[in-house]
């Protein structure tokens, strides 16, 4: 064992494992690279998780599970479908935990879409027009106005798109990151397919699903 490895406390490795969901070996390597800095080690794991997720993103997800979450004494309910590649993974504790966490998050934040690509052209253009009109009042040149609009659209996506939202249990991690960490751990592609959110007494209820590629509007 190298001198660097010996300096990494096993408790730190376990703590990083618990917070990230990554395998122990990966946690140790990340802590070695970050010289024991937990925050930086977590960033390293997140980057690797996203890379792993990107490699698996094209793989078909025909299995999975449907989960539910009831909140506020039965006043808010969520029905959610999350897909993976095999029934075996769908039945694991890690996958079921992810299913529950995402359903709980949806109950709390009420997103309107799953991905940025799912936002309708109508909603996109309306928001851009509003932000462009607001920015124009500053008197700044057109190129600057467009950069302002671009920045505000990023915030808009974070507010309405499930995958872009900070996870309610850990604000430094987006739902996209959360899923990526599970992909890295379980070794299969995982995707949110659709969800529905209901609130007692509210006539507006949310239903969202991933659109087919040919239906996806351009941002």
Clarify whether residues 152 and 165 are in a common domain: no
Residue 47 structural domain:
1-56
The contacts of residue 141 (CB under 8 Å, 6+ apart) are: none
Same domain, 10 and 44: yes
Q: Could you tell me what percent of the chain has a pLDDT over 70?
A: 86
Say if pTM beats, i.e. exceeds, 0.85: no
> What value does the mean pLDDT of the chain take?
85
What pLDDT digit, counting tens, does each position of 2-50 carry?
434 447 888 888 888 776 667 778 888 888 888 888 878 877 877 776 5
Residue 78: strand pairing partners? 69, 197
Question: Which residue spans within 72-169 are E strands per DSSP?
Answer: 76-84, 166-167
User: Is there a single domain that holds both residue 115 and residue 173?
Assistant: yes
Q: Bridge partners of 113? A: 161
Residues 79 and 132 in one domain: no
Strand partners, 69: 78
**Which of 2-11, 157-166, 184-193 is predicted with the least confidence, judged by mean pLDDT?**
2-11
């Amino acid at each position: 064992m190298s001198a660097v490895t010996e300096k990494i406390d096993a408790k730190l490795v376990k703590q990083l494992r618990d917070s990230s969901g990554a395998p122990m070996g990966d946690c140790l390597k990340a802590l070695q690279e970050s010289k024991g800095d937990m925050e930086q080690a977590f960033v390293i794991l997140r980057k690797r998780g996203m890379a792993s997720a990107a490699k698996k993103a094209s793989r078909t997800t025909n299995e999975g599970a449907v989960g539910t979450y009831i909140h506020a004494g039965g006043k808010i309910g969520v029905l959610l479908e999350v897909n993976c590649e095999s029934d075996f993974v769908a039945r694991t504790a890690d996958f079921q935990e992810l299913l529950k966490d995402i359903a709980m998050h949806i109950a709390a934040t009420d997103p309107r879409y799953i991905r940025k690509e799912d936002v309708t052209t109508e909603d996109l253009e309306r928001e851009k027009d509003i932000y462009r009109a607001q920015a124009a009042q500053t008197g700044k040149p057109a190129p600057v106005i467009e950069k302002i609009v671009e920045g505000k659209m990023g915030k808009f996506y974070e507010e309405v798109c499930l995958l872009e939202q900070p996870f309610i249990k850990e604000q430094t991690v987006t739902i996209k990151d959360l899923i990526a960490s599970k992909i890295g751990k379980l070794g299969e592609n995982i995707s949110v397919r659709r969800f529905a959110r209901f609130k007692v007494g509210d006539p507006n209820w949310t239903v969202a699903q991933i659109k087919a590629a040919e239906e996806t509007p351009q941002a």
